[in-house]
A and B are shown apart, each in its own frame.
Chain A
Amino acid sequence: MLNGQKQSYFSGIAISIFFVSLCILSYEILLMRVLSITSWSHFAYMVISIALLGFGASGTFISLFQKKLKTHFYPFFTLFSFLFSFSLFICFVVSQKIPFNLFLIVWDNLQYFYLAICYLVLFVPFFLGATCIGLSFLKFSRRINRVYFYNLLGSGGGALIVILFMYLLSLEEVLLLIIILAFFAAALSSINLSGKIFSVIVSASAAAILFFFFHPPQLQISQYKGLSTSLKLPRAKIIEEKSSPLALIDVVESPAIRCAPGLSLNYKGSIPPQLALFLDADSICAITDFQGNLSNLKYLEHTSPALPYQLLTKPRVLVVGAGGGSDVLRALYHKASHIEAVEVNPQIVHLVKEEYADFSNHLYSYPQLEVVIAEGRGFIESTSKKYDLIQITLLDSFAASASGVYALSESYLYTTEALEKYIQHLTQEGILSITRWLKMPPRDGIKLFATAVKALENLGIKDVSSHLIFIRSWADSTLLIKRSPFTSSQINIAKEFARERLFDLIWSPSLKPEETNQYNILPRPFYYEAAREILFGDRDDFYQRYLFFVRPAVDNSPYFFHFFKWKSLPYLLKTMGREWLPFIEWGYIVLVFTLLQAIAASIFLIIFPLLFLRKRKTFSGRRLQIFLYFLFLGVGYMFIEISFIQKFTLFLSYPVYAVAVVMAAFLFFSGCGSYFSQKIRISKLSNVATASGAIIVISLVYLVYLGNLFIFFIQFSDGIKILLSLLFIAPLAFFMGIPFPSGLQEVSLKASPLVPWAWGINGCASVISPVLATVLAISLGFNLVILIALTSYALAVICFHEMSNVET
């Protein structure tokens, strides 16, 4: 074959690799969104992690049949890319039909079967797509760096494009576009085959696309999600649906919709008509038709977040998480002089401001109101304004909160550093008010109290106890943190407010034990006892002995919703039974379960091909080094990527931007690193050693200085912050793109049949690592995760040199 022809064949395959990689990553992110909507986010996490093991399995598959696959590379590549395109649709449709329900798994063994089917079905497209890429590594062993370049470039493009698509189109439409791109990749790869095959592939692709277009898949939302239940209410219907990467918003109309969380049992009036806004088919907030008459909002005076308004006169208010406007209404009702309402989702603001402006009585256009589209923590970091009241009220759904679904979710809203920032943005007499659902057994409120105490102490406040008032209704709790001590008249007003509404005092300065636990009676005044222990007792001993993890959350480990403690497990199981556990801390249990099954599946995928490759004795001296090298690389790469996504979340404010920008930047610049890896030789050392050294140095510099850089640049516009993020990530990611292709090149030179196996190891490590990174970050923090990653890179260098030194 002529060199020019070879080059043209490679170019066609390279573009196909680009599109297949793009489709794989877009599909993964799309599936995460879809499963979070139809089911719950932790289920999505679990299923996708396992499905991604399709990468590992592809390595096994290619290892076993590499001779045949390599000889007939072009037809096989076309076949797999074509099947991949089909599977994107078929597997999506089938996954929506599986009647799996995570909440039933503790009782119903049939659910394990459904779960296995879920894994299997969603595994297929990842396996087929990864096989295309793995095959290319095998075939183009001399151009591994370029194959890897197109692979990473495509993946980076996928991360960006899917987020963009999700802003513009519905999820079903995004799926169709991904499928079109996948078919395009298949058709492109078939150019290298006979004209007849090319025509067949093109025609079949066109027919399939048309079929999928006319038969779009339907999302099957779990019947146990709030949206499904609400739609069965009398005369209930969805009157508007908006989709974005932030959330799927459904506006539901029904006369039976009433949203008044934790309303006092003493309230005797009515609630004005409301429209429900469901986010991802679960979390609910409401748009209220108060008919422009604030007296219709009396019910808001009978909820626990109304307490700070009794202590302040005409305050300047910052509402974090404005949603449909309940907190804004509460502020208006209590005659706030100025309200700044921060809402992360622009579509919610648009709904209230435009589509339902009449229904909301033009709430978001009130003269004393300023609506800001921003994430709460990011906003407070970037503003210099001061407020009399900062209010954060119930930003998550009760059901999800109660069952620990959010345990995996990082939240920079409730960390010690966040609370310090809020307090610093208060006027001298200002109050920070945070309302959370009341969880049983008690843990959420206690952790919040502990975080507030820590934040006040960090700010140098001496008598912390006099700066706190904490009350609870039957459903929620509201904590007030004041910059200066509460006055005795304020304390008396708070007590009277609580008494009239049958709310209990958990903490207030000079509170007597007999004044607690009076109206919503618990078997013991658990909250009060905990508050006393945190303020005046042996705090560390209390944190250690409490049944749940209630130590304050910090930015380095921002898991406010994580309460699970291994130490308590036997006791919890003994006293509460296995059925209770999932509903207390689902999220963490699912995380650990995901990690264990990913490790088990990975071992199977790595050990299994080795048994078949045993005959090839020539590589026996190298297997361990290859295994460890690609394992360390996978762990190192993902640990750094995941940690930096977290760190940049704080900087870029929006988690979804952070994920898209950081992921795309890492993949793109790593691709560049890979592309140039064979062209540059910086020192006498191997490229792997040089690159790893650079990774370690840059990461350590970032570990020390990135926080300061963020503080310096945080007030800049989003566009500049994104550019800066790219600039910060570029050098690190560039070097991170070098070790993998260099290693694969070395393997292809000295033990080429092990190339697919090495690809599989890296695939498995890349699946295990994000889960492991989260488990470690929860207990150790992200800084330590980065240090582990750097150690992995150092160890990888040793393995590489060992691998290179073994003679063939």
Chain B
Amino acid sequence: MRKYLPFLTGVMALVVFFSIYFFKKREALEGDVYKAAREEMVTTQIESRGIKDEKVIEAMRRVPRHKFVPSHLESSAYEDRPLPIGCGQTISQPYIVALMTQLLELCEEDKVLEVGTGSGYQAAILSEIASEVYTIEIFEELGISVTERLKNLDYHKIKVRVADGYYGWPEEAPFDAIIVTCAADHIPPPLIAQLKDGGKMCIPVGSVFQVQKLMLVEKKDGEITAKNILPVRFVPMLGKHQEM
């Protein structure tokens, strides 16, 4: 038996070597595939729809969206659609993420609060631009998994808290920008209070699968205004030329 030992050891070493080699190769290949998909996403879904902010475009290019979706949906991660992530929540369509981020007009030194962490993708995009990102998730199950995910992906700038986002993050307030990605029938007054003067708050409104409008709340000299941004072109009247 002993005489076969070197032979067996050699075979095992070869198996281990090739396994690592193939695994790495596959990973690199996958990386390439997803990188290409990401590039295509940026070109066809982001830039072509009028997203101009270079910082946003660069962030969308960098953040590996496929790492933020359930593994069985990885191959669909860069498609032009929201994806279910459990707990009745979705990860927004890439364009909506980009549009919301652009609407906030973030600077490098900005402090951002996100209410409704979900998959963590939006927080990751924000953290590529702003210096501090605070994110609150109310669903414990999602909060735990997203904390782990962000740690694994080295997004150390993002602080996650599992709590009721309704009250914001008063210890870190005020914020230059706030994103509220969980639907509510009203905008929590504490969040408006935690918005810095001159700050912006973005809220998607609609069902979990379709953002029908984006509310952009701005605070200037204590005065609040809200803009309704429609993510699609809408002209309410059919002209004669459009009628069929």
Contacts and interface: CB of A to CB of B under 8 A. Distances in A.
Contacts of B184: 258
Contacts of A439: 212
B187 A576 contact: no
Interface string B191-234: 01100000000000111111011010100000011111010111
A576 B235 CA distance: 10
A260 to B, nearest CB: 5
Contacts of B80: 579
A403 to B, nearest CB: 5
A546 B206 contact: no
Contact of B164 (A234, A522, A545): A234
Given A258-B186, A583-B209, A546 B140 contact: no
Classify the interface of chain A: helix, strand, loop or mixed. loop
A577 B217 CA distance: 27
A403 B210 contact: yes
A232 B144 CA distance: 14
A474 B226 contact: yes
A475 interface: yes
B141 interface: yes
A224 B85 CA distance: 11
A266 interface: yes
Contact of A441 (B81, B224, B234): B234
Interface stretch (A50-58, A127-135, A267-275, A718-726): A267-275
B242 interface: yes
B79 A107 contact: yes
Contact of A546 (B141, B217, B232, B238): B238
Nearest to B186: A263
A612 interface: no
A224 B217 CA distance: 27
B232 A580 contact: yes
B212 A521 contact: no
A116 interface: no
Contacts of A431: none
B88 A256 contact: no
Contact of B225 (A441, A442, A521, A580): A521
B200 to A, nearest CB: 13
A575 interface: yes
A268 B189 contact: yes
A567 B244 contact: yes
A545 B166 contact: no
Interface string A190-227: 00000000000000000000000000000000011100
Interface string A246-267: 0000000001101111110111
A571 B237 CA distance: 10
Contact of A233 (B138, B187, B238): B138
A256 B228 CA distance: 27
A103 to B, nearest CB: 5
A103 B225 contact: no
Nearest to B224: A265
Interface in A423-469: 439-442
B6 interface: no
A503 B89 CA distance: 30
B212 A583 contact: yes
User: By CB atoms of chain A within 10 A, which of B86, B189, B232 has the most?
Assistant: B189
Given A441-B230, A475-B186, A402 B209 contact: no
Contacts of B213: 440
A93 B180 CA distance: 38
A267 B189 contact: yes
A398 B184 CA distance: 10
A442 B213 CA distance: 11
Nearest to B165: A256
Given A234-B140, A268-B189, A402 B226 contact: no
Contacts of A402: 206-207, 212
Contact of A577 (B86, B138, B183, B232): B232
B228 A474 contact: yes
B87 interface: yes
Contact of B185 (A266, A398, A547, A568): A398
A488 interface: no
Nearest to A261: B185
Interface in A482-537: 502, 518-523, 526, 530
A261 B238 contact: no
Interface residues of B, number: 50
B54 interface: no
Contacts of A571: 238, 242, 244
Size class of the contact patch on chain A = 35 or more
A97 B216 CA distance: 40
B243 interface: yes
A269 B193 CA distance: 10
A100 to B, nearest CB: 13
Contacts of A365: none
B232 A576 contact: yes
Contacts of B34: none
Nearest to A568: B238
Contacts of A399: 183, 207
A570 interface: yes
Nearest to A256: B164
B185 A262 contact: yes
A444 to B, nearest CB: 12
B244 A522 contact: no
B155 interface: no
Interface string A98-134: 0001011001000000000000000000000000000
User: By CB atoms of chain A within 10 A, which of B139, B213, B227, B236 has the most?
Assistant: B236
Given A232-B139, A402-B207, A440-B213, A520 B238 contact: no
Nearest to A518: B225
Interface string A528-558: 0010000000000010011100000000000
A375 B236 CA distance: 35
Interface in B130-175: 138-141, 164, 166
Contacts of B228: 440, 474, 520-523
A464 B80 CA distance: 47
A228 interface: yes
Given A255-B164, A571-B242, A104 B233 contact: no
A522 B225 CA distance: 12
A229 interface: yes
A403 B207 contact: yes
A259 B166 CA distance: 12
B217 A265 contact: yes
B153 to A, nearest CB: 24
B224 to A, nearest CB: 5
A521 B226 contact: yes
A686 B102 CA distance: 76
B210 A583 contact: yes
A452 to B, nearest CB: 19
A509 B56 CA distance: 45
A576 B233 contact: yes
Nearest to A550: B236
20 contacts: A101-B84, A103-B208, A103-B209, A224-B207, A229-B89, A232-B87, A232-B139, A234-B138, A258-B186, A265-B192, A268-B189, A398-B185, A403-B207, A440-B205, A440-B212, A520-B227, A546-B236, A546-B237, A547-B237, A547-B238
Pairs of residues from A and B, 10 with the lowest C-beta to C-beta distance, nearest first: A263-B186, A583-B210, A223-B88, A229-B88, A261-B185, A440-B213, A440-B212, A107-B81, A260-B186, A576-B232
Given A263-B189, A398-B185, 15 more contacts: A103-B207, A224-B208, A232-B88, A255-B164, A402-B207, A440-B230, A519-B224, A542-B237, A547-B234, A547-B237, A567-B243, A568-B238, A575-B232, A583-B206, A583-B207
Interface of A: 101, 103-104, 107, 223-225, 228-229, 232-234, 255-256, 258-263, 265-270, 398-399, 402-403, 439-442, 474-475, 502, 518-523, 526, 530, 542, 545-547, 567-568, 570-571, 575-577, 579-580, 583
Interface of B: 79-81, 84, 86-89, 138-141, 164, 166, 183-189, 192-193, 205-210, 212-213, 215, 217, 224-228, 230, 232-239, 242-244
